[in-house]
Amino acid sequence: MIEEANRCLNCKTKPCQKGCPLENDIPGFIKQVKEENLEEAFNILTNTTVLGAICGRVCPHLKQCMGNCVRGIKSEPINIGKLESYVFDNALEQNFEIEKTSQLQGKKVAVIGGGPSGLTCSAFLSKKGAKVTIYEKQPKLGGITRYGIPDFRLPRDIIDRTVEKILSLGVEEKCNQELGRDYELSDLEDKYDAIYLSFGANISAKMNIPGEDLDGVYGGNELLETGRHPNYEGKSVAVIGGGNVAMDSARTIKRLGAKNVYVIYRRAREQMPAEDYEVEEAIKEGVEFLFQNNIIKIMGNDKVEKIECIKTELVQKEGEKRLVPVVIENSNYILDMDFVVMAVGSKANKEVVEKTGLETTEYGNIKVDEKYMTSKKGVFAGGDLIGTKATVAWAARSGRNASEEIAKYLLD
């Protein structure tokens, strides 16, 4: 990796850093890699992130840091993701410690949800000396990284070691504890000086099209989270959407024996939220893509038997920044199908959100002010739960920002 690091021009304007949701000092840590000072590279990165081993593997780098790399103008951009994971993998192997202070010593914080946002918030508060306890509904911490991203994209030992490093800061974990089932928000308010809600928004959104309630229609988020799949052997499956959940669902389903897997996306390939290399990998694995197509009806007697689709064209509409898909009249067609997987976005669990008694937005997210505080004093929220961009890095950024506001609150 030293050879790759040596390609970095160490730009003074740091465009790569501006493209990173976490604003990692990318030229700074790469400079240390060049000099083979991996511990200092780790120290630089942990000023802004504790999830480098994960983000280095799953972030959409070409849409973020690498997409802003000056090297990419005339040649290949620096492989920032590989360098970041290289530094963190080495740090986990060598057991480098994350520096701590005693700024918040004596303060207790409860974090509800052990995904990227909750883990990051917990780590940064613990770095400042607070005593943090994470409440997680699943058997293990990791959230979407463990229960949403397939292990062929993110090995589970990387998540385990990342979590262990965060716990080594003094963070306590309480798993198999679900809000509204095992405890209420009010139960924690008397025990802690502040609470951070970060239990995510992992309920698959619906398209509200005819037949969506038929047997054989699934949410991509739920399939990936639970791992409970139907028998796909020899079957045809349509995955609707163009983001990470769609890609992960399609590739997982193909690996589980489906004969045909179609990704149906209403826009063009270059507009897909998913990384281009993920699309390439899916194609290599036998997934078929139907770009500029949309599903408008699911048909069958009790269970899925066919789907009706329609072709779209992209047009520039006044006031719109990007091309908008518009249906092509009379371009409808029918496909035989056994299962349909919806991967067109996600939302928060309405029942759990309602049990918090907190004010929400029109989209069902928990409403927060500019300091990440909810409608209840001392209760903060972040990540997908408040509508943050649905990537690991943006969720982590939200958790870090919230930790800074919680620290200010605790010191007032």
**Digits of tens for pLDDT over the chain (412 positions)?**
889 999 999 998 999 999 999 999 999 999 999 999 999 999 999 999 999 999 999 999 988 999 999 988 989 999 999 999 999 999 999 999 999 999 999 999 999 999 999 999 999 999 999 999 999 999 999 999 999 999 999 999 999 999 999 999 999 999 999 999 999 999 999 999 999 999 988 899 999 999 999 999 999 999 999 999 999 999 999 999 999 999 999 999 999 999 999 999 999 999 999 988 899 999 999 999 999 999 999 999 999 999 999 999 999 988 888 899 999 999 999 999 999 999 999 988 888 999 899 999 988 899 999 999 999 999 999 999 998 877 899 999 999 999 999 999 999 8
The tally of CA atoms less than 13 A away on the side-chain side of residue 340 is 33
CB 251 within 8 A of CB 281: yes
276: tokens are 């281009």
Query: Distances in Å between the alpha carbon of 192 and those of 168, 187, 196, 271?
Result: 21, 10, 10, 45
Domains and CATH numbers, the chain: 2-94 (1.10.1060.10), 108-201+348-411 (3.50.50.60), 205-345 (3.50.50.60)
358-364 own/partner pairs: CB under 8 Å, 24+ apart: 361/387, 363/387
Q: What angle do CA 116, 367, 380 make, to 5 degrees?
A: 50
Chain mean position to CA 68: 21
pTM of the model: 0.93
Residue 89 CA to residue 76 CA, distance in Å, equals: 24
Report strand pairing: 306-315 vs 203-204.
Answer: unpaired
Largest CA distance in the chain: 68
31: tokens are 């400079």
Query: Distances in Å between the alpha carbon of 118 and those of 145, 373, 402?
Result: 12, 15, 10
CB 289 within 8 A of CB 281: no
